Amino acid sequence: MKFKTLLAAGAAIAMGSTMASASTLDDVKAAGQIKCGVSQGLPGFSNPDDQGNWTGIDVDVCRAVSAAIFGDPDKVEYKPLSAKTRFTALQSGEIDVLSRNTTWTATRDNSLGLDFTGVTYYDGQGFMVRKDLGVKSATELSGAAVCTNTGTTTELNVADYFRAHGMDYTVVAFEKADEVVAAYDSGRCDVYTTDRSGLAAQRVKLSEPDAHVVLPEIISKEPLGPVVREGDNNWGDIVRWSLNAMIDAEELGVTSENVDQMKGSDNPGIKRLLGTEGDLGGQLGLSSDWAYNIIKKVGNYSEIYERNVGPNTPLKLERGVNALWTKGGILYAPPLR
């Protein structure tokens, strides 16, 4: 099927110089809050309500780090960032951690002065089209105008996919996600491409959500996770192990509801996680109940998944590969010992 090309647009990623803090943990404690870079609004991942209250998986990562440090999940200042400006904001010290559906790639990890601290959500890039086009496969998209965000891996993946299949296309790119959604919804492009979780999230914003379909092809690996500045290993460890504590808690059956009862458990893994044995908190420069506070006030990984993007939310995303390794998925935390 051939499509009429509508528009062409493009942009380059602007990168700033690296400015590392001597001790991000000390700076955060002195400020009394964490500066967390999030998206400009992606339901299920980081999205504000009408009163400016942020929710989502990416937001809960920031809340977990806040709970680990302060014993309070709400010592966070959220800074909405576009895909184009997110890395510069982290490099310059405008934010302490970037938790904004960002794909972990070799180039970003090796050349930007940044460190990825884990995977919050395993994703893959997909395509969404209007049902009335009658398209059943991405291999039918030759000649299409494709809407996406600038400064993302999706632009590169689309180029690879269409070249590999010998198909022409025109990219229609915008800096802000809502601009992409509006352009697609108004018919300025034939296809909307981003991570499949992003398609599920943005679909609920369309004027007729049920008039669109996500095609079956997944054209990339998109491991999404939090990012910190390179050169402050302690801060990177705090963010990394805050995420791992939530994953490990799910595997050990520790939830926000039963965590007080679990403090009396004889299970050595639970005792180390909750700080009743060993000194994992001290190794991070935190109190012994750092992980207890995360689980009690934010939840384990399953809890944050189910309330933000799970089957009972508007996004209706099954766990899939994001299930624990013990349940058929690939989610796995290194041993907390």
- Considering only 4-13, 120-129, 151-160, 296-305, which range has the smallest mean pLDDT? 4-13
The answer to whether 307 and 313 are in contact (CB under 8 A) is: yes
Give the model's confidence band at 177: pLDDT under 50 very low, under 70 low, under 90 confident, else very high.
Answer: confident
Strands 227-229 and 114-116: antiparallel
The conformation of residue 331, written as its DSSP 8-state character, comes to B
pLDDT score of 11:
34
Please provide the distance, in angstroms rounded to a whole number, between the alpha carbons at the two ends of the chain.
56
- Which tokens in the block code for residue 273? 């996680």
Average predicted confidence (pLDDT) for the chain: 92
Tell me: pLDDT of 131 over 70: yes
Q: Which of 273, 267, 288 has the alpha carbon at shortest distance from 334? A: 273
The conformation of residue 84, written as its DSSP 8-state character, comes to T
Give the model's confidence band at 170: pLDDT under 50 very low, under 70 low, under 90 confident, else very high.
Answer: very high
Tell me: pLDDT of 1 over 80: no
Amino acid at 111: S
CA 201 to mean position of chain CA atoms: 12
The answer to whether 105 and 87 are in contact (CB under 8 A) is: no
131: three-class secondary structure by DSSP: helix
What's the whole-number mean pLDDT along residues 206-219?
94
In this predicted model, what pLDDT tens digit does every residue of 113-123 receive, in sequence order?
999 999 999 99
Q: Tell me how far apart the alpha carbons of residues 188 and 4 are, in angstroms, rounded to a whole number.
A: 11
- CA distance readout (Å), 165 to 161, 196, 219, 329: 6, 20, 12, 30
Tell me: pLDDT of 289 over 90: yes
Residue 111 or residue 1, greater confidence: 111
What's the whole-number mean pLDDT along residues 153-182?
91
- CA distance readout (Å), 55 to 41, 69, 246, 271, 302: 10, 20, 17, 30, 15
In this predicted model, what pLDDT tens digit does every residue of 235-250 receive, in sequence order?
999 999 999 999 999 9
Q: Which of 232, 226, 256 has the alpha carbon at shortest distance from 119? A: 226
DSSP H or E segment with residue 170? strand 169-174
Q: Tell me how far apart the alpha carbons of residues 292 and 299 are, in angstroms, rounded to a whole number.
A: 9
Q: Which of 202, 28, 20 has the alpha carbon at shortest distance from 115? A: 20
SS3 content of the chain, % helix, strand, coil (to 5): 40, 20, 45
Give the model's confidence band at 175: pLDDT under 50 very low, under 70 low, under 90 confident, else very high.
Answer: confident
pLDDT score of 3:
54
In this predicted model, what pLDDT tens digit does every residue of 257-287 receive, in sequence order?
999 999 999 999 999 999 999 999 999 999 9
- What percentage of residues in the chain have a pLDDT greater than 90? 86
- Considering only 45-49, 86-90, 174-178, 310-314, which range has the smallest mean pLDDT? 174-178
In this predicted model, what pLDDT tens digit does every residue of 54-84 receive, in sequence order?
999 999 999 999 999 999 999 999 999 998 8
In this predicted model, what pLDDT tens digit does every residue of 7-59 receive, in sequence order?
333 333 333 334 444 699 999 999 999 999 999 899 999 999 999 999 999 99
Q: List the beta bridge partners of residue 144.
A: 169
pLDDT score of 151:
77
The answer to whether 244 and 336 are in contact (CB under 8 A) is: yes
Give the model's confidence band at 130: pLDDT under 50 very low, under 70 low, under 90 confident, else very high.
Answer: very high
133 by Cβ neighbours in 10 Å (0-12 / 13-18 / 19+) ranks as middle
Tell me which residue has tokens 């059956």. Answer: 253
The answer to whether 180 and 174 are in contact (CB under 8 A) is: yes
The answer to whether 38 and 46 are in contact (CB under 8 A) is: yes
